[in-house]
A and B are shown apart, each in its own frame.
Chain A
Amino acid sequence: MTAPEMTIPDLEINRRLTILPMQEFYTSGHRTCQGCESALVMRYMAKVAGPRTLVTGTTGCMYVANTSYNSTPWALPWAHTQLGSAGSSAVGTAAALKALMRKGKIPDERINVIAFCSDGGGGDMGLATLSAALQDTRYNLLILLYDNESYANTDIQASGMTPWGAVTAFTPSGSQMRITHHRWKKNVPALLMAGHPTGRYFANASSGFGMDLMEKVRTALDVGGPTFVQTHDPCPKGWDFDPRMSHELAILAVECGITVLWDCLEGELRYQGLTRQQVDGAVKRRPVADYLRRQGRFAHFADDDIDFFQARIDEMWEDWILPGVLRIKQTPFGPRPESGRSVPEPTEGGNHG
Chain B
Amino acid sequence: MTTMETRAAGTAAAAAGSEEIITGCDAVAQALRLADVDVLAGYPIRPYDSVMTAVSKMIANGQMDAEFIVAESEHSQFEIGKHASLVGARAFIGSSGVGWMYGMEALVVTSSLRLPVIALVGNRALDDPGAFGVEHNDALMVRDTGWLLYWVESAQEALDTTLLAYRVAEDKRVMLPCALSMDGAFLTHSQHIVQVPGPAPVAEFLPPYDLGDRRFHPDNPVSIAPQFNEDWVMEARRQADAAMRRARGVIAEATADFRRVFGRGPDDPFVDTYRMEDAEYALIGMGTVGLVGKVAVDRMRAAGRRVGFVRVKWFRPFPRPELRALLRGVKGVGIVDRDYSFGSNAHGGVLYTEVAAALYPEPTRPVIVPFIAGLGGREVSVENIEEMTDITEELTARGELDASCQWIGVRGPASDPRYDVERGAR
Q: In the complex, what distance in Å separates the CA atom of A175 from the CA atom of B398?
A: 70
CB atoms of A77 and B216 under 8 A apart: yes
CB atoms of A92 and B38 under 8 A apart: no
Task: Out of A67, A78, A98, A111, name the residue touching B67 (CB < 8 Å).
Answer: A98
- Judge if B5 is at the interface, Cβ distance under 8 Å: no
Known: A98-B67, A99-B67. A88 touches B83 (CB 8 A): yes
Q: Which one of B166-174, B223-231, B249-257 contacts A?
A: B223-231
Count residues of chain A with CB under 8 A from any CB of chain B.
51
Q: In the complex, what distance in Å separates the CA atom of A189 from the CA atom of B84?
A: 27
CB atoms of A82 and B105 under 8 A apart: yes
Q: Which one of B7-15, B69-77, B264-272 contacts A?
A: B69-77
- Judge if B278 is at the interface, Cβ distance under 8 Å: no
B33 to chain A, nearest CB (A): 14
Q: In the complex, what distance in Å separates the CA atom of A268 from the CA atom of B163?
A: 50
Q: In the complex, what distance in Å separates the CA atom of A281 from the CA atom of B98?
A: 55
Q: Which one of A51-59, A156-164, A197-205, A284-292 contacts B?
A: A51-59
Chain A's closest residue to B221 (CB) is A77
Interface hub of B88, B109, B216, B226 (most chain A Cβ within 10 A): B226
Q: Mark A66-97, 1 if CB is under 8 A from B, else 0.
A: 01111110111111111011011101110111
CB atoms of B87 and A69 under 8 A apart: no
- Judge if B89 is at the interface, Cβ distance under 8 Å: yes
B367 to chain A, nearest CB (A): 46
- Judge if A102 is at the interface, Cβ distance under 8 Å: yes
Residues on A with C-beta less than 8 A from B222 are 77-78
Chain A's closest residue to B65 (CB) is A103
Chain B's closest residue to A80 (CB) is B225
A48 to chain B, nearest CB (A): 15
CB atoms of A79 and B72 under 8 A apart: no
Residues on B with C-beta less than 8 A from A54 are 87, 216-218
- Judge if B24 is at the interface, Cβ distance under 8 Å: no
Residues on B with C-beta less than 8 A from A71 are 226
CB atoms of A128 and B86 under 8 A apart: no
CB atoms of A93 and B71 under 8 A apart: no
Task: Out of A4, A69, A78, A88, name the residue touching B79 (CB < 8 Å).
Answer: A88
Residues on A with C-beta less than 8 A from B73 are 128-129
Residues on A with C-beta less than 8 A from B86 are 79, 92-93, 96
- Judge if A14 is at the interface, Cβ distance under 8 Å: no
Residues on A with C-beta less than 8 A from B88 are 96, 100, 105-106
- Judge if B106 is at the interface, Cβ distance under 8 Å: yes
- Judge if A32 is at the interface, Cβ distance under 8 Å: no
Task: Out of B82, B220, B227, name the residue touching A92 (CB < 8 Å).
Answer: B82
Residues on A with C-beta less than 8 A from B65 are 99, 102-103
CB atoms of B220 and A93 under 8 A apart: no
CB atoms of A53 and B228 under 8 A apart: no
- Judge if B134 is at the interface, Cβ distance under 8 Å: no
- Judge if B41 is at the interface, Cβ distance under 8 Å: yes
Chain A's closest residue to B82 (CB) is A92
Known: A91-B80, A129-B76. A103 touches B71 (CB 8 A): no
B107 to chain A, nearest CB (A): 11
- Judge if A63 is at the interface, Cβ distance under 8 Å: yes
28 inter-chain pairs at a CB distance below 8 angstroms, sorted by A residue, are A4-B218, A54-B87, A63-B227, A67-B223, A68-B226, A69-B226, A69-B227, A72-B226, A74-B221, A77-B218, A77-B224, A78-B222, A80-B224, A82-B109, A84-B75, A85-B75, A91-B80, A92-B39, A92-B79, A95-B80, A95-B89, A96-B89, A97-B87, A99-B66, A100-B89, A128-B72, A128-B76, A131-B72
Closest CB pairs A-B (n = 3)? A92-B83, A96-B87, A79-B224
